[in-house]
Homo-oligomer: A and B are copies of this chain.
Amino acid sequence: MTHSLFPQHDHDHSGCTTNLMKFADRYCQQAGLRLTKLRRTVLEQVASSHKAIGAYQILDNLAADGQKLAPISVYRSLDFLQEAGLIHRLESTNSYFACQRNFDDELDQESPSTLHKCSEASSLVFLICEECGVIGEVEGASIGALISTVANSEMFKVDRSQLEIKGTCQTCQNSS
Flag if A151 contacts B165 (CB, 8 Å): yes
Chain B, residue nearest A149 (CB): B142
Partner of A156, one of B151, B162, B167: B167
What residues on B are CB-neighbors of A157 within 8 Å? 167-169, 173
What residues on B are CB-neighbors of A154 within 8 Å? 5-6, 127, 136, 138, 169-170
What residues on B are CB-neighbors of A127 within 8 Å? 150-151, 154, 156
A29 is an interface residue with CB less than 8 A from chain B: no
A13 is an interface residue with CB less than 8 A from chain B: no
Q: Taking the nearest CB of chain B, how far is it from the CB of A43, in angstroms? A: 22
What residues on B are CB-neighbors of A125 within 8 Å? 150
Flag if A138 contacts B150 (CB, 8 Å): yes
Q: Taking the nearest CB of chain B, how far is it from the CB of A161, in angstroms? A: 4
Q: How far is the CA of A82 from the CA of B59 in the complex (A)?
A: 32
Chain B, residue nearest A6 (CB): B154
Given contacts A91-B91, A91-B92, A92-B91, are A158 and B167 in contact (CB under 8 A)? yes
Given contacts A91-B91, A155-B173, A173-B157, are A163 and B166 in contact (CB under 8 A)? no
Flag if B143 contacts A155 (CB, 8 Å): no
A130 is an interface residue with CB less than 8 A from chain B: yes
What residues on B are CB-neighbors of A173 within 8 Å? 155, 157
Flag if A165 contacts B136 (CB, 8 Å): no
A38 is an interface residue with CB less than 8 A from chain B: no
Q: How far is the CA of A154 from the CA of B135 in the complex (A)?
A: 12
Q: Which residue numbers of A lie inside 8 Å of B, CB to CB?
A: 5-6, 91-92, 125, 127, 129-130, 136, 138, 142-143, 146-147, 149-151, 154-170, 173
